[in-house]
Amino acid sequence: MQITTQTLALKPGGHSVDKTKDAKLKKACHDFEAIMLKQMLTTMRKSVPKDGLFKTGYTGDMYDSMRDGQLAKNLASGRGIGIADLLYKQISGEIKQTTK
């Protein structure tokens, strides 16, 4: 999949519009990483066998989902796992595409 940057037109410079677009792009990249982390946490939680120690049901599943979502947001807002940084660099044009 190739991502084009025609619609973003991020330029290094001092325009406030570019800084606003840059901030929105960084936030979108971190939000995407949070979504990926939540999906990963949810999948890992499903792999753990239920032992019967804690009762589970609709409310327990809802609590687990909310906890996974908040944990994913916290992980992505900090240093994260690098997905947001790589995505930002690719979209903003800092990583040059290699031609084969």
Write out the chain's pLDDT in tens, 100 residues. 555 555 455 555 555 667 888 889 999 999 999 999 999 999 998 888 777 666 678 888 888 889 999 999 998 888 888 999 999 988 888 665 544 4
Domain limits at 38?
Answer: 17-47+61-92
Q: Is residue 32 part of a domain?
A: yes
pLDDT at 61: 84
Q: Is residue 80 part of a domain?
A: yes
Query: How far, CA to CA in Å, does 39 sit from each of 33, 45, 74, 99?
Result: 10, 10, 14, 33
pLDDT at 70: 93
Domain count, the chain: 1
Q: What are phi and psi of 52, to 5 degrees?
A: 90, 0
Q: Is residue 26 part of a domain?
A: yes
pLDDT at 98: 47
**Based on C-alpha coordinates, what's the Rg of the chain?**
18
Q: Is residue 21 part of a domain?
A: yes
Q: Is residue 78 part of a domain?
A: yes
pLDDT at 17: 61
pLDDT at 54: 66
